Structure 1
Amino acid sequence: MELNCKALHILFCTLGTNDVKETKIGLLNLEYENFKMDPNEDIKGMFNRFSIIVNQLKGFGEEISEGKLVRKLIYSLPESWDSKKMTIIEAKDLKKLKLDELIGSLLTHELMSIPLKRENEKIIKEQGVDVNIIALKSSKCKYEDSSMEESSEEDEEMAYLFKTSPGS
């Protein structure tokens, strides 16, 4: 009787463990499928998050080919990386591209683009003020022009009324 109870306990634990395992695998697969680079995230941070998900899936026995991982990472990049994505897709055979080669290429691109981004932000900041002033001046002039057109039309109407009034 005691051995039967132990055997039943082991069976129930095994069944529960399998259900939990399947649930975890399902959640990790969902996280993998919905994976995207966060807006203020760098390549290293993105890759660390990605690696955690992939390693957990592999820990549960899930097999993911390197080609599939490479494609997932490329398509997880935001729109600001579109030119680099297209360059990689056109220049490389994604079936043969290694994950570490992709990460190296992305890190290099990120490091090279940081000074350019800073320079562009500086230019935009400097020109942004001027652009706003010009836009305000332009809209002010436009407003003044339209009000002048309206007032000259009103003047003409008033002049016509005075010309055609009975005492003239």
Structure 2
Amino acid sequence: MTIFIQALDFNLWDIIIDGPKLPHIISQEGIKTLKPRSSYTDDDRKKVQLNPKAKHVIICALNSNEFNRVSSCATAKEMWDRLEVTYDGTNQVKDAKINMLVREYEMFSMKENENISGMFVRFMNIINSLQYLNKCYTNSEMVRKILRCLPKSWMPKGSKRPQHLAA
């Protein structure tokens, strides 16, 4: 969804991350007050319109349960923050997810009656989930892991598994 919103209008993404910026007037005393709507410029109106546009984009992507969760939010930022906590969790939840996925990665092996395609799909699901949580492995680490988890039946006849790939 992030990419969709950024591609649609990067200003919408800024509003979602930073919150809306309402036009202000600074008095001679240096006091900042909201600008009356009647004195908005065209540029002010475009900026003010970004929050409702961002809310609309988010709402269009939600099912009814998710909509009910965020419908009371006044800003797109509030909506996004609530969805983020709901689906990504707090930092503690993210750390727990990362730990669980790293363990899955470390313990990964090909199942007895599994074909290489099925094994690769399982492996990439773990890798993609880790990448989403900003835990990444290099290509060489992933290739070595795949090679280590292959059963002996995948080794060429008469050859030994190289010592550095031994499990």
Question: TM-score by structure 2 length?
Answer: 0.41
Question: TM-score by structure 1 length?
Answer: 0.41
Q: Which has the higher helix share?
A: 1
